[in-house]
Amino acid sequence: MGWETSKLLSYQPIKKPNYLLWGMSLLFLILAGFIITVFTYDGSDYLLFWFLAIGVPFFLWIMILASCLLINISEHAYNERITELNQESTLFWQNWSKQQIPIFGSYLICAEQNGIKALTGDLEQIPLYPEKARPLFNLTASTKPYWFLDEVMQNLEQQCPNYRHYLTHIYIPKALIDDDDLLEAIFQRWDLYPEPVMDYSVWMSILYEEPDNIELSLILVCQYSDRTYHHHSKFISAMLIGAESLMNTKKLQAKSWLGRLMIAQDDLSADINQFFTYTQLSAQNVKDVWISGLDPKNRTQFNIERHKLDIGENKENLIHDIDLTFAKPTELTKYLALTMASGCVSASSQEQLVISQYENKVYIQLITFKKLLQE
């Protein structure tokens, strides 16, 4: 399964008492006792005779019955304790699965003039360029180097005023860490040198284990270079995340909530089912699903499970295949999908699910408008 949760403890099988069998065993013991007493007792005390013939077998039967009842009672007590432990374990993993990080702002620059809106409007109007690598749409027609960083900075300021006063970290994927010119351009604008995300899944896990250490962080992804991404459409994605405590101490307002990352294993269908089971979110509440890079096997499993869960079965709940618009995916596409989903949550106030695959890893992540309730 995707999340390696604790296995539920097994119950002790309890057999229902067979009253007919117990009755027959009593008759058998009494009959056997009577026969044995007839052939072995040579006294004249009738009271002792009947005690040996009936009383002793009956007492023996009572002892056996009592021991079986005690075993049955202990098995019931054991199963009740197992139920309590399983309920505690399930509740723990449900709360663990519901843990989220606030998103204070997000912004996307891509090949489309209208950005995310181009993919969420009329289905017939969604642009399709599955084989064409397209450049960034330059809204301001700026010729300034790294103009897209200025656009990101300005838009994040509109969403989260004065965020730069509290910004402590800028993270970029490890694929960009050798781009010295980009790093310097980022430093000139934010006065922070970017830190590399060496492994996305490990990094995400650490964020949720130590949420207060996130402080206020900017996840910045720049797929802009023709030299490196000649066969891929260009995009710039930015997502501002932080510790939940900032909502109280700095009065920052969460635009949406980023859920825990699941890395799907062998069976994507089972992993999606586990995902919704533990988050306790109804799949029908998911407004849009953003998919990218799914191979034929995983695409089939996704379709099987989405039909079971009734995801994307009507015009109100859509499946967005990012690759049909932005050509083949890269190791950075998962960031693009998250930023798109975050933008859609802010626009629609409804939940978004991201399922992206690169090489042999499938990433599943949920973005919600409101924080999931924990017990």
Q: Give the model's pLDDT for residue 133.
A: 82
Query: Cβ(333)–Cβ(235) under 8 Å?
Result: no
Give the phi and the psi of residue 168 in degrees, each rounded to 5: -120, -20
Q: Give the model's pLDDT for residue 316.
A: 58
Q: Which residues contact 210 (CB under 8 A, 6 or more apart)?
A: none
318 forms beta bridges with 288
Query: Cβ(331)–Cβ(173) under 8 Å?
Result: yes
Cα radius of gyration (the chain) = 33
Residue 156, domain extent: 99-368
What's 168's domain CATH number?
Answer: 3.40.47.10
Q: Which residues contact 156 (CB under 8 A, 6 or more apart)?
A: 105, 107, 163, 218, 238, 240
Q: Give CA–CA dist 324/126, Å, rounded.
A: 10
Query: Cβ(281)–Cβ(244) under 8 Å?
Result: no
Domain count, the chain: 2
103 with 27, same domain? no
Q: Give the model's pLDDT for residue 314.
A: 57
DSSP notation for 205-270: HHHHHSGGGG-EEEEEEEE--TTT-TTS--EEEEEEEE-TTHHHHS----SEEEEPPEEE-S-HHH
Residue 33 lies in a domain: yes
Q: Give the model's pLDDT for residue 158.
A: 95
Residue ranges in the chain modelled with pLDDT below 50: none
* pLDDT tens digits for range 171-204: 999 999 999 999 999 999 999 999 999 999 999 9
Q: Give the model's pLDDT for residue 317.
A: 60
Residue 12 lies in a domain: no
Residue 6 lies in a domain: no
105 with 89, same domain? no
124 with 263, same domain? yes
